[in-house]
Copies of this chain bind each other. A is one copy, B any other.
Amino acid sequence: MLELRVIPVRGMGDIKPGDALVDKMLGALRRQRVRLIAGDILVVTHKIVSKAAGRVVPLEQVKASRRARRWAAQHGLRAQVVELALSESRRVVRQGRGVLITETRHGFVCANSGVDLSNVDGGKSAALLPLDPDRAAAKLHRAIKRKLGLFIPIIISDSFGRPWRRGLTEVAIGVTGMRALKDFRGKRDPYGYRLKGTLEAVADELACAAGLMSEKLLGAPVCVVRGYSYQRGRGRARDLIRPRSEDLFR
Protein backbone atom coordinates (compact mmCIF):
# COMPACT_ATOMS: atom_id res chain seq x y z
CA MET A 1 0.00 0.00 0.00
CA LEU A 2 1.22 3.43 -0.94
CA GLU A 3 2.07 5.30 2.24
CA LEU A 4 4.59 7.64 3.77
CA ARG A 5 6.88 6.40 6.52
CA VAL A 6 9.06 8.47 8.80
CA ILE A 7 11.67 6.43 10.66
CA PRO A 8 13.65 8.23 13.38
CA VAL A 9 17.32 7.32 13.67
CA ARG A 10 18.70 7.20 17.20
CA GLY A 11 21.97 6.40 18.84
CA MET A 12 24.25 8.67 16.83
CA GLY A 13 25.98 9.78 20.02
CA ASP A 14 27.32 13.23 20.59
CA ILE A 15 28.62 15.01 17.51
CA LYS A 16 31.93 16.87 17.81
CA PRO A 17 33.71 19.30 15.54
CA GLY A 18 35.42 17.42 12.73
CA ASP A 19 33.25 14.31 13.07
CA ALA A 20 32.43 12.54 9.81
CA LEU A 21 28.68 12.98 10.05
CA VAL A 22 27.92 10.53 7.28
CA ASP A 23 29.77 7.72 9.08
CA LYS A 24 27.90 8.45 12.31
CA MET A 25 24.59 8.44 10.43
CA LEU A 26 25.24 5.26 8.50
CA GLY A 27 26.54 3.55 11.65
CA ALA A 28 23.37 4.42 13.54
CA LEU A 29 21.23 3.21 10.63
CA ARG A 30 23.11 -0.11 10.59
CA ARG A 31 22.74 -0.62 14.34
CA GLN A 32 19.02 0.10 14.00
CA ARG A 33 18.84 -2.34 11.05
CA VAL A 34 17.39 0.29 8.74
CA ARG A 35 18.68 -0.21 5.22
CA LEU A 36 18.36 2.84 3.00
CA ILE A 37 16.64 2.17 -0.31
CA ALA A 38 16.19 4.16 -3.52
CA GLY A 39 13.44 6.73 -3.02
CA ASP A 40 14.35 7.47 0.62
CA ILE A 41 15.01 11.02 1.78
CA LEU A 42 17.11 11.88 4.84
CA VAL A 43 16.04 14.79 7.01
CA VAL A 44 18.89 15.96 9.25
CA THR A 45 18.42 18.54 12.02
CA HIS A 46 20.87 21.34 11.47
CA LYS A 47 22.27 21.12 14.99
CA ILE A 48 24.42 18.09 14.25
CA VAL A 49 25.57 19.63 10.97
CA SER A 50 26.62 22.78 12.81
CA LYS A 51 28.37 20.76 15.50
CA ALA A 52 30.32 18.66 13.02
CA ALA A 53 31.33 21.83 11.17
CA GLY A 54 32.50 23.49 14.40
CA ARG A 55 29.78 26.16 14.24
CA VAL A 56 29.53 26.16 18.05
CA VAL A 57 30.69 29.14 20.09
CA PRO A 58 31.39 29.12 23.83
CA LEU A 59 29.46 32.11 25.17
CA GLU A 60 32.34 33.16 27.42
CA GLN A 61 34.37 33.90 24.28
CA VAL A 62 31.76 36.35 22.95
CA LYS A 63 32.24 40.03 23.63
CA ALA A 64 28.81 41.67 23.63
CA SER A 65 28.42 45.10 22.06
CA ARG A 66 26.70 47.90 23.90
CA ARG A 67 23.61 47.43 21.70
CA ALA A 68 23.43 43.74 22.54
CA ARG A 69 23.95 44.39 26.25
CA ARG A 70 21.21 47.00 26.39
CA TRP A 71 18.62 44.86 24.58
CA ALA A 72 19.56 41.80 26.66
CA ALA A 73 19.28 43.72 29.94
CA GLN A 74 15.86 45.08 28.99
CA HIS A 75 14.43 41.63 28.35
CA GLY A 76 16.32 39.33 30.69
CA LEU A 77 18.30 37.73 27.86
CA ARG A 78 21.97 36.75 27.65
CA ALA A 79 23.93 39.51 25.99
CA GLN A 80 26.31 37.06 24.29
CA VAL A 81 23.40 35.32 22.59
CA VAL A 82 22.00 38.64 21.38
CA GLU A 83 25.46 39.58 20.14
CA LEU A 84 25.75 36.36 18.14
CA ALA A 85 22.22 36.82 16.76
CA LEU A 86 23.12 40.32 15.57
CA SER A 87 26.47 39.33 14.13
CA GLU A 88 24.91 36.39 12.24
CA SER A 89 22.27 38.68 10.73
CA ARG A 90 22.33 41.00 7.79
CA ARG A 91 19.41 43.01 9.09
CA VAL A 92 16.91 43.17 11.92
CA VAL A 93 13.36 42.61 10.63
CA ARG A 94 11.52 43.23 13.91
CA GLN A 95 12.57 43.82 17.46
CA GLY A 96 9.98 43.93 20.20
CA ARG A 97 8.65 42.21 23.31
CA GLY A 98 12.01 40.51 23.87
CA VAL A 99 11.94 38.92 20.43
CA LEU A 100 14.57 39.62 17.81
CA ILE A 101 13.55 38.65 14.28
CA THR A 102 16.43 38.88 11.86
CA GLU A 103 17.31 38.06 8.30
CA THR A 104 20.32 35.77 8.33
CA ARG A 105 23.17 36.06 5.87
CA HIS A 106 21.57 33.19 3.93
CA GLY A 107 18.32 35.19 3.66
CA PHE A 108 16.25 33.19 6.17
CA VAL A 109 13.99 35.25 8.42
CA CYS A 110 13.81 33.77 11.92
CA ALA A 111 14.30 34.53 15.61
CA ASN A 112 17.85 35.28 16.76
CA SER A 113 19.40 34.36 13.40
CA GLY A 114 18.90 30.72 14.40
CA VAL A 115 21.42 31.03 17.26
CA ASP A 116 20.36 28.43 19.82
CA LEU A 117 21.57 27.00 23.12
CA SER A 118 19.47 23.84 23.18
CA ASN A 119 21.01 20.44 22.52
CA VAL A 120 24.55 21.80 22.61
CA ASP A 121 26.27 21.56 25.98
CA GLY A 122 23.84 22.60 28.65
CA GLY A 123 23.81 26.34 27.95
CA LYS A 124 27.52 27.15 27.92
CA SER A 125 27.81 27.33 24.12
CA ALA A 126 25.57 28.39 21.26
CA ALA A 127 25.12 26.62 17.94
CA LEU A 128 25.01 28.84 14.86
CA LEU A 129 23.35 27.88 11.58
CA PRO A 130 25.65 26.15 9.08
CA LEU A 131 27.45 28.66 6.87
CA ASP A 132 25.98 27.15 3.69
CA PRO A 133 23.30 24.56 4.49
CA ASP A 134 22.61 23.74 0.82
CA ARG A 135 26.26 22.94 0.38
CA ALA A 136 26.35 20.89 3.58
CA ALA A 137 23.36 18.91 2.28
CA ALA A 138 25.11 18.34 -1.05
CA LYS A 139 28.23 17.13 0.75
CA LEU A 140 26.25 14.54 2.75
CA HIS A 141 24.43 13.48 -0.41
CA ARG A 142 27.69 12.90 -2.27
CA ALA A 143 29.22 10.98 0.63
CA ILE A 144 26.21 8.64 0.79
CA LYS A 145 26.34 8.10 -2.95
CA ARG A 146 30.02 7.22 -2.67
CA LYS A 147 29.57 4.85 0.26
CA LEU A 148 26.27 3.15 -0.63
CA GLY A 149 25.85 3.85 -4.33
CA LEU A 150 22.41 5.35 -3.61
CA PHE A 151 20.90 8.66 -4.67
CA ILE A 152 19.36 10.02 -1.43
CA PRO A 153 18.06 13.61 -1.28
CA ILE A 154 19.02 15.42 1.91
CA ILE A 155 17.05 18.06 3.80
CA ILE A 156 18.68 20.00 6.62
CA SER A 157 16.05 21.35 9.02
CA ASP A 158 15.61 23.90 11.76
CA SER A 159 12.60 25.02 13.84
CA PHE A 160 11.31 28.49 12.96
CA GLY A 161 8.46 30.53 14.39
CA ARG A 162 5.94 32.28 12.16
CA PRO A 163 3.94 35.49 12.29
CA TRP A 164 0.25 35.09 13.23
CA ARG A 165 0.57 31.48 14.33
CA ARG A 166 1.90 30.19 17.63
CA GLY A 167 4.49 27.47 17.94
CA LEU A 168 7.52 26.46 15.95
CA THR A 169 7.44 24.21 12.90
CA GLU A 170 10.34 22.65 11.09
CA VAL A 171 11.56 24.21 7.89
CA ALA A 172 14.16 23.19 5.33
CA ILE A 173 17.30 25.34 5.48
CA GLY A 174 19.33 23.04 3.23
CA VAL A 175 18.12 20.86 0.36
CA THR A 176 19.81 18.72 -2.23
CA GLY A 177 18.76 16.02 -4.71
CA MET A 178 15.12 17.07 -5.05
CA ARG A 179 13.02 20.11 -5.84
CA ALA A 180 12.19 22.10 -2.70
CA LEU A 181 8.93 23.29 -4.27
CA LYS A 182 6.37 21.23 -6.15
CA ASP A 183 4.77 23.23 -8.91
CA PHE A 184 1.10 22.62 -9.63
CA ARG A 185 0.63 25.83 -11.61
CA GLY A 186 -1.12 25.22 -14.90
CA LYS A 187 -2.14 21.68 -13.92
CA ARG A 188 -5.85 20.85 -13.81
CA ASP A 189 -7.65 19.52 -10.75
CA PRO A 190 -10.08 16.56 -11.13
CA TYR A 191 -12.84 19.09 -11.96
CA GLY A 192 -10.90 20.63 -14.81
CA TYR A 193 -10.00 23.84 -12.99
CA ARG A 194 -6.55 25.10 -13.87
CA LEU A 195 -4.51 25.76 -10.70
CA LYS A 196 -2.94 29.17 -10.47
CA GLY A 197 -0.94 29.96 -7.36
CA THR A 198 -0.25 26.44 -6.26
CA LEU A 199 3.37 26.00 -5.43
CA GLU A 200 3.81 23.56 -2.53
CA ALA A 201 6.80 23.88 -0.21
CA VAL A 202 7.32 20.13 -0.01
CA ALA A 203 10.80 20.39 1.53
CA ASP A 204 9.29 22.28 4.46
CA GLU A 205 6.49 19.73 4.76
CA LEU A 206 9.02 16.89 4.75
CA ALA A 207 10.96 18.71 7.48
CA CYS A 208 7.71 18.94 9.48
CA ALA A 209 6.95 15.24 9.03
CA ALA A 210 10.43 14.43 10.36
CA GLY A 211 10.08 17.00 13.14
CA LEU A 212 7.21 14.99 14.60
CA MET A 213 9.55 12.04 15.13
CA SER A 214 12.86 13.74 15.88
CA GLU A 215 11.81 14.32 19.48
CA LYS A 216 13.86 17.20 20.73
CA LEU A 217 14.34 15.56 24.11
CA LEU A 218 15.17 12.05 22.97
CA GLY A 219 17.89 12.55 20.46
CA ALA A 220 16.76 11.40 17.03
CA PRO A 221 18.47 14.07 14.93
CA VAL A 222 17.98 12.21 11.65
CA CYS A 223 14.87 10.71 10.08
CA VAL A 224 14.46 8.52 7.03
CA VAL A 225 11.39 9.52 5.02
CA ARG A 226 10.22 6.67 2.81
CA GLY A 227 7.45 6.58 0.23
CA TYR A 228 7.29 10.21 -0.85
CA SER A 229 7.48 10.62 -4.60
CA TYR A 230 9.74 13.63 -4.77
CA GLN A 231 10.69 15.45 -7.94
CA ARG A 232 14.35 14.83 -8.64
CA GLY A 233 16.19 17.93 -9.64
CA ARG A 234 18.47 20.73 -8.65
CA GLY A 235 16.61 21.89 -5.59
CA ARG A 236 18.06 24.14 -2.95
CA ALA A 237 16.60 25.59 0.22
CA ARG A 238 17.38 29.02 -1.17
CA ASP A 239 14.52 28.43 -3.63
CA LEU A 240 12.24 28.63 -0.59
CA ILE A 241 13.27 32.18 0.21
CA ARG A 242 10.69 34.60 -1.12
CA PRO A 243 12.41 37.25 -3.22
CA ARG A 244 12.19 40.76 -1.87
CA SER A 245 10.16 41.80 -4.93
CA GLU A 246 7.36 39.34 -4.05
CA ASP A 247 7.33 39.92 -0.32
CA LEU A 248 4.65 42.02 1.37
CA PHE A 249 6.19 41.68 4.84
CA ARG A 250 9.71 43.08 4.60
Q: Contact partner of A169 among B111, B117, B201, CB < 8 A?
A: B201
Complex Cα distance A2/B7, Å? 7
Complex Cα distance A208/B167, Å? 14
Q: In the complex where A97-B248, A206-B212, A228-B212 touch, is A118 in contact with B166 (Cβ < 8 A)? A: no
Instruction: Type the 1/0 row for A71-111, where 1 means its CB is closer than 8 Å to any CB of B.
Output: 00000000000000000000000101101010000001101
Total chain A interface residues with beta-carbon distance under 8 A: 75
A119 to chain B, nearest CB (A): 5
The reply on A134 being an interface residue by CB < 8 A is no
The reply on A246 being an interface residue by CB < 8 A is yes
Q: Which of A21-29, A141-149, A235-243 contacts B (4 or more CB under 8 A)?
A: A235-243
Q: Contact partner of A189 among B193, B204, B217, B241, CB < 8 A?
A: B217
CB contact list, A198-250 vs B, under 8 A: 198-202, 204-206, 208-209, 211-213, 216-219, 228, 239-242, 246-249
Q: Contact partner of A164 among B3, B99, B109, B194, CB < 8 A?
A: B109
The reply on A18 being an interface residue by CB < 8 A is no
**A189 & B119 in contact (Cβ 8 Å cutoff):** yes
Residue of B nearest to A228 (CB): B212
A159 to chain B, nearest CB (A): 7
**With a CB–CB cut-off of 8 A, which chain B residues contact A120?**
191, 193
Q: Contact partner of A202 among B32, B212, B240, CB < 8 A?
A: B212
The reply on A121 being an interface residue by CB < 8 A is yes
Q: In the complex where A7-B1, A94-B248, A198-B118 touch, is A170 in contact with B205 (Cβ < 8 A)? A: yes
**A216 & B198 in contact (Cβ 8 Å cutoff):** yes
**With a CB–CB cut-off of 8 A, which chain B residues contact A198?**
118, 159, 168, 216
The reply on A57 being an interface residue by CB < 8 A is no
Q: Which one of A163, A187, A202, A249 has the highest number of Cβ atoms from chain B below 10 Å of its Cβ? A: A163
A121 to chain B, nearest CB (A): 5
CB contact list, A143-183 vs B, under 8 A: 159, 162-171, 180-181
**A248 & B213 in contact (Cβ 8 Å cutoff):** no
Instruction: Type the 1/0 row for A1-39, where 1 means its CB is closer than 8 Å to any CB of B.
Output: 111111110000000000000000000000010100000
> Can you give 8 contacting A-B residue pairs, CB < 8 Å?
A109-B163, A109-B164, A118-B195, A119-B189, A166-B242, A167-B180, A167-B202, A169-B204
